[in-house]
A and B are shown apart, each in its own frame.
Chain A
Amino acid sequence: MEKQTTETLTGAQIVVRLLERQGVRTLSGIPGGAILPIYDAMSQSTLIHHVLARHEQGAGFIAQGMARATGIPAVCMASSGPGATNLLTAIADAKLDSIPLVAITGQVARAMIGTDAFQEVDTYGLTIPITKHNFLVNSAEELLEVIPRAFRLAASGRPGPVLVDIPKDVQNQAIEVAEWPAIGVADPIPAPAPELIARAAAMINEAERPILYLGGGVVHSGASGLAVALAEKAGLPTVMTLMALGAMPVDHALSLGMLGMHGARCTNLALDECDLLIAVGARFDDRATGKVAAFCPQAKIIHIDIDPSELDKIKAAHVGIAGDVAAVLKMLSPEVESHLRKRWLTHVNGLKAAHPLRTPGIDDARTHYGLIRAVADCLDDEAAIATDVGQHQMWVAQAYPLRRPRQWLTSGGLGTMGFGLPAAIGAALAEPERTVVCFTGDGSILMNIQEFATAAEEGANVKIVLMNNATLGLVYQQQTMFYGERIYASKFKGQPDFIKVAEGFGLATVDLDKESDPRAALAEALSMRGPVLIHASIDRQQQVLPMVAPGAANKDMIGG
């Protein structure tokens, strides 16, 4: 605690001051009765820019976009009751993708808790399973401890969301504040055990067919450069999860791109043959592994993760190392022998040549892959790429040349449609110098389309590329492939005029369907400042291929 002159402050003023001291300069939320004291205090802040979302889920994902782009905990706010319940999806999404988020909610006054008061809901109880930790604050005094602690917890170890529920009377309670607590920063992480590092190094040195398997933890830990260096030194073909895309440039000679359900054939086939799998900050998610018993059946496993509960959770590791992956890789690399690994790499390159990712139409901007490539051709690696959830997400994951950690913002674990637009707005607000592209679909965009208003109001530099097939594409694809082509509830019979809708919200628009030179129109739209909707119709019959049927082994891919 540092000494200051004593001030009399309300709980609400304390919250705002603590956020300012924490370095929060932008946050997103929606006010309402039970959080009005905090909003009133925030109105006096000259440091905090409040971004008014149009739905609390939007506020949650705007904060997520900021946190994903920067790695720094971001803040969202909502009132009690429906405000809090609307935040839940964004909080759960942050939990599954390990995104540092501090959610602050208003609650009815303590005396009214448990009486079914107006807009009362058990926010604390609702958020237990979807947060790293949560608080129901009992006094203004407690805020001095809880707010910094929330930031510390969100950022420490495996990052994640923390919720602070603050009753209205606590926000109004005035107390004397003589000292301010230190800001919340991530706890140091215990160093990994040297004997485990030595064993892992020996296994890598002895392996004939090793593969490096990178997960989102590599991005969170800032370990991308270390991972690439290890791969290069030891001659390790490298696969990435959806969350790790960008950790190794996808056009790196050792990159096999994304593994799993929609990975290239060569990627899953190489994994099937490997004798050592080095999992780094990855959690063996079912979309990555397919049928677990058949995943890397010949491989010994080294598993490095900051969260000890991930070790042996899905697959038993021969060596499990709990620790920050950057720290582990720093210790591991010097002990790993330089290895050209000619035979294995030649074989993997043979697989790549024989079974590459097939991207039909990639040179035609009017196809799904071609549109993605055309967007990439207009941009450099400084651009950030957000997606919604569905076919477009998988196509972008497969075909966009991601080369930079934190370039890629996508909802992996929870797979939340509606994620893309607000997350892109958040990323654009956190890093205004970047162009942020949001690839979306006609299903996803409607789930948070109200945030067009926020994008317009903030002048956020987001380019929304709407790939419109008038279908819930992944559902349509699964019904086609696995449900006897009984297409049900997945084709939209009516659709809004998305161009008019976007214009109505104040966005610039381009309809590529009506452009004779779609590449030129795209280049112009992407170079405009501020929010732009870029609409393109795509063919409903196109599928995301290859595909591993849910529950099947990764080597049994369909198509592609």
Chain B
Amino acid sequence: MNATSQAENQALARAVLELDVNNHAGVMSHVVGLFSRRAYNVEGILVMPVGDGTKSRIWLLVNEDARLEQMVKQVEKLEDVLAVRRHGADHRVFERLEEFFR
């Protein structure tokens, strides 16, 4: 297996979740707690406030596995989560950050 196809494989096995959430202390704990209690690792996390700062956007980079659908449903149930969108691993939000992790 050459390097390119390995990277492709990894790309296929990942997903990016985009969450609109209320911005207050504890929201992040609620979200990541759902993953950690299932021993489901979150590979990457990005959060910034949006608009007037009452809301935030969370980006999660996770491994795609059979549990992901259930994870999304659980995240949607959280009171402070307003919306969840699911993207492929090719989403640029984490790609652009790579230079900070070299």
Tell me the A residues contacting B by CB distance below 8 Å.
124-125, 128-129, 132-134, 136, 153, 307-309, 312-313
Contact = CB atoms under 8 A, between A and B. Distances in A.
26 contacts: A124-B26, A125-B29, A128-B26, A128-B29, A128-B30, A128-B33, A129-B33, A129-B37, A132-B79, A133-B78, A133-B79, A134-B26, A136-B25, A136-B26, A153-B79, A307-B77, A308-B73, A308-B76, A309-B70, A309-B73, A309-B74, A309-B76, A309-B77, A312-B69, A312-B70, A313-B70
Contacts of B77: 307, 309
A155 to B, nearest CB: 14
A312 B37 CA distance: 20
Contacts of B73: 308-309
Nearest to A162: B79
Nearest to A149: B79
Contacts of B29: 125, 128
Nearest to A124: B26
Contacts of A308: 73, 76
Contacts, number: 26
Nearest to B29: A128
Contacts of A153: 79
Interface of B (DSSP majority class):
helix
Contacts of B78: 133
Task: Please list the 9 inter-chain residue pairs (A to B) with the smallest Cβ-Cβ separation, ordered nearest first.
Answer: A309-B73, A133-B79, A128-B33, A309-B74, A129-B33, A128-B29, A129-B37, A128-B30, A313-B70
Nearest to B71: A309
Interface string B67-87: 001100110111100000000
Contacts of A312: 69-70
Contacts of A133: 78-79
Q: How large is the interface on B (under 10, 10 to 19, 20 to 34, 35 or more residues)?
A: 10 to 19
B38 to A, nearest CB: 11
**Which of A132, A308, A309 gathers the greatest number of chain B CB atoms within 10 Å?**
A309
Interface in B33-82: 33, 37, 69-70, 73-74, 76-79
B54 to A, nearest CB: 14
A205 to B, nearest CB: 30
B59 to A, nearest CB: 21
Contacts of A124: 26
A134 B33 CA distance: 14
Nearest to B69: A312
A129 to B, nearest CB: 6
A6 B78 CA distance: 35
Given A124-B26, A128-B30, 15 more contacts: A128-B26, A128-B33, A129-B33, A129-B37, A133-B78, A133-B79, A136-B25, A136-B26, A308-B76, A309-B70, A309-B76, A309-B77, A312-B69, A312-B70, A313-B70
A309 B70 CA distance: 6
A125 B29 CA distance: 8
Contacts of B76: 308-309
Nearest to A158: B77
Contacts of A132: 79
Contacts of A313: 70
Contacts of B33: 128-129
Nearest to A132: B79
Nearest to B79: A133
Nearest to B32: A128
B81 to A, nearest CB: 11
Most buried by B among A129, A134, A312: A129
Nearest to B77: A309
Nearest to B67: A313
Contacts of B25: 136
Most-contacted residue by chain B among A124, A128, A153, A313 (CB, 10 A): A128
A134 B26 CA distance: 9
A70 to B, nearest CB: 24
A132 B78 CA distance: 8
A153 B80 CA distance: 12
Nearest to A153: B79
A128 B30 CA distance: 6
A325 B4 CA distance: 51
A307 B73 CA distance: 9
Contacts of B70: 309, 312-313
A127 to B, nearest CB: 11
A308 B69 CA distance: 11
Nearest to B36: A129
A315 to B, nearest CB: 12
A209 B93 CA distance: 52
B73 to A, nearest CB: 4
A191 B78 CA distance: 21
